[in-house]
């Protein structure tokens, strides 16, 4: 029963990575669909989905490692966008939005774990 769930979670993670990369590296002038009118909300939603999928896809990897890796990926995206030939703008606030999203998912998972522990007799 666990194997199909892991396959689905990993497939969802691949889709999230591809969509996030497309949104991050396609030219700013490209006709991309926007889910939200505010850029930071788009960053938040992308990294929220990435984090949720990554935590489900790799249940044996420590949460802290996944969170750190995704936050670092957000920083790397901004550094790459700052390169002159990419024709995008680097914005530290985008990385902050990415990291806040990662921490939001991690917070929910940790609260769920705490509730489970507190419910034990």
**pLDDT higher than 70, residue 44:** yes
How confident is the model over 6-25, as a mean pLDDT?
Answer: 93
| Residue position matching structure tokens 């991309």 | 32
What are the structure tokens assigned to 74, written together?
């957000």
Dig out the tokens for 39 from the structure. Answer: 């850029």
pLDDT at 29 over 80: no
For residues 66 and 54, the answer to whether their CB atoms sit within 8 Å is: yes
Mind listing the pLDDT tens digit for each residue in 52-107?
999 999 999 999 999 999 999 999 999 999 888 888 888 999 999 999 999 999 99
pTM for the model stands at: 0.89
Each residue's pLDDT tens digit, 92-111:
999 999 999 999 999 999 99
First to last CA, the chain: 28
pLDDT at 47: 97
């Amino acid at each position: 029963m666990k194997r199909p769930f892991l396959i689905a979670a990993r497939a969802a993670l691949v889709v999230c990575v591809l969509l996030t990369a497309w949104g991050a590296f396609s030219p700013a002038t490209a006709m991309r669909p926007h889910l939200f009118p505010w850029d930071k909300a788009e960053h938040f939603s992308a990294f929220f989905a990435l984090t949720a999928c990554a935590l489900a896809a790799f249940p044996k990897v420590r949460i802290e490692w996944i969170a750190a890796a995704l936050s670092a990926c957000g920083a790397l995206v901004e550094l790459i966008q700052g390169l002159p030939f990419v024709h995008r703008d680097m914005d530290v606030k985008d990385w902050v939005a990415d990291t806040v999203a990662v921490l939001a998912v991690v917070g929910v998972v940790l609260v769920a774990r705490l509730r489970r522990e507190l419910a034990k007799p």
